């Protein structure tokens, strides 16, 4: 079964940016394991696209640059699903999460076995994460459980889809801001539609170089808190609850 990873990149500082090297590690590891990687590139310096191509990623330009996070992610998922073909698996992940590569086969197994349409990837531990992110995501996952009854680690972004199930994500119109909600709210809609959604937990370790970057930069704490607010609001409204703005 074809497994195609779709992701997006935005590295305006070029190859000197540490996240570029993490993305290249992901692409190289994926190709060694036999997975295709489709990268939707949006605003990085030209040397980044060249380096990704040399690592054997299939690099395409963003169709609608400057329109925020959601459209780029939907483009990446659409292209991954098209490349995977009927019965294949489209896999969404952020490009810097290279330690996830050894677990891709395990994560996709429920789809390969015909037991699931969508797989939520969970982490067995958050101990390797920055403290602020740990706290925000524990609260966020608890809120999701209150709303849906599912104790899933939905704040971990990677998702695996049977290729035809990607339509649920492509149909999202960004009603709640079109940032991280672009891969979050569609999970709730997939559940409502009766798609078979399961979780697979793995021993993922947060990239240590990314943790080092975040530990030195207090703006990341603000980003996590902001993301928690956006996703808590989006999930509450999607579930039919009031929200107090």
| Cβ atoms of 75 and 62 closer than 8 Å | yes
216 in a domain, yes or no? no
Q: What is the mean pLDDT of residues 159-169?
A: 96
pLDDT for the residue 99: 97
What residues contact 176, with CB distance under 8 A and at least 6 apart? 185, 230, 233, 234, 237, 238
Tens digits of residue pLDDT in 81-122: 999 999 999 999 999 999 999 999 999 999 999 999 999 999
pLDDT tens digits for range 112-159: 999 999 999 999 999 999 999 999 999 999 999 999 999 999 999 999
Q: What is the mean pLDDT of residues 27-49?
A: 93
Single out the residue of 90, 71, 92 nearest to residue 81, CA to CA: 90
User: Among 43-47, 119-123, 164-168, 223-227, whose mean pLDDT is lowest?
Assistant: 43-47
Q: Which residues pair with 3 in a beta bridge?
A: 89
The SS3 of residue 173 is: coil
pLDDT at position 238, please? 96
Residue 245: is its pLDDT beyond 90? no
The total domain count for the chain is: 1
pLDDT confidence of residue 65:
81
Contact 86, 58 (CB under 8 A): no
Residue 137 within any structural domain of the chain: no
Structural domain contains residue 226:
no
> In degrees, to the nearest 5, what angle opens at C-alpha 59 toward C-alphas 178 and 108?
70
Is 219 domain-assigned? Answer: no
Residue 218 lies in a domain: no
158's CB contacts (< 8 A; 6+ apart) are: 91, 92, 93, 94, 97, 100, 107, 121
Tens-place pLDDT, residues 212-241: 989 888 899 999 999 999 999 999 999 999
At residue 191, what are phi and psi to the nearest 5 degrees? -65, -40
Share of the chain above pLDDT 90, in %: 88
Q: For 185-213, write each residue's pLDDT tens digit.
A: 999 999 999 999 999 999 999 999 999 98
Which spans in the chain are helix H? 18-32, 46-54, 69-84, 104-112, 131-148, 167-170, 185-193, 208-215, 219-238
Query: Which residues span the domain enclosing 167?
Result: 3-129+150-205
Looking at residue 42, what is its pLDDT?
A: 85
Give the closest residue to 157 by CA, choosing from 79, 87, 70, 244. Answer: 70
Any domain includes 236: no
The mean pLDDT value of the chain amounts to 95
Is 145 a member of any domain?
no
142 is a domain residue: no
CATH number for the domain that contains residue 170: 3.90.550.10
Question: What is the model's pLDDT at position 43?
Answer: 81
């Amino acid at each position: 079964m074809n497994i195609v990873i779709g992701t997006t990149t935005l590295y305006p500082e070029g190859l000197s940016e540490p996240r570029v090297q993490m993305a290249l590690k992901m692409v190289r590891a994926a190709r060694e394991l036999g997975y295709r990687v489709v990268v939707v590139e949006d605003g990085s310096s030209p040397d980044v696209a060249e380096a990704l191509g040399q690592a054997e990623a299939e690099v395409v330009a963003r169709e609608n640059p400057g329109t925020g996070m959601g459209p780029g992610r939907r483009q990446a998922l659409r292209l991954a699903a098209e490349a995977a073909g009927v019965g294949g698996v489209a896999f969404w992940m952020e490009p810097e999460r290279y330690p996830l590569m050894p677990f891709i086969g395990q994560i996709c197994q429920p789809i390969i076995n015909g037991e699931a349409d969508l797989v939520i990837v969970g982490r067995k531990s958050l101990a390797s994460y920055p403290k602020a992110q740990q706290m925000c995501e524990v609260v966020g996952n608890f809120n999701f459980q209150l709303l849906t009854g599912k104790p899933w680690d939905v704040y971990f972004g990677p998702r695996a889809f049977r290729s035809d199930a990607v339509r649920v994500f492509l149909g999202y119109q960004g009603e709640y801001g079109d940032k991280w909600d672009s891969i979050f709210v569609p999970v709730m809609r997939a559940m409502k539609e009766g798609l078979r959604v399961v979780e697979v937990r793995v021993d993922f370790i947060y990239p240590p170089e990314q943790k080092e970057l975040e530990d030195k930069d207090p703006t990341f704490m603000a980003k996590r808190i902001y993301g928690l607010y956006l996703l808590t609001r989006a999930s509450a409204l999607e579930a039919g609850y009031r929200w107090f703005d």
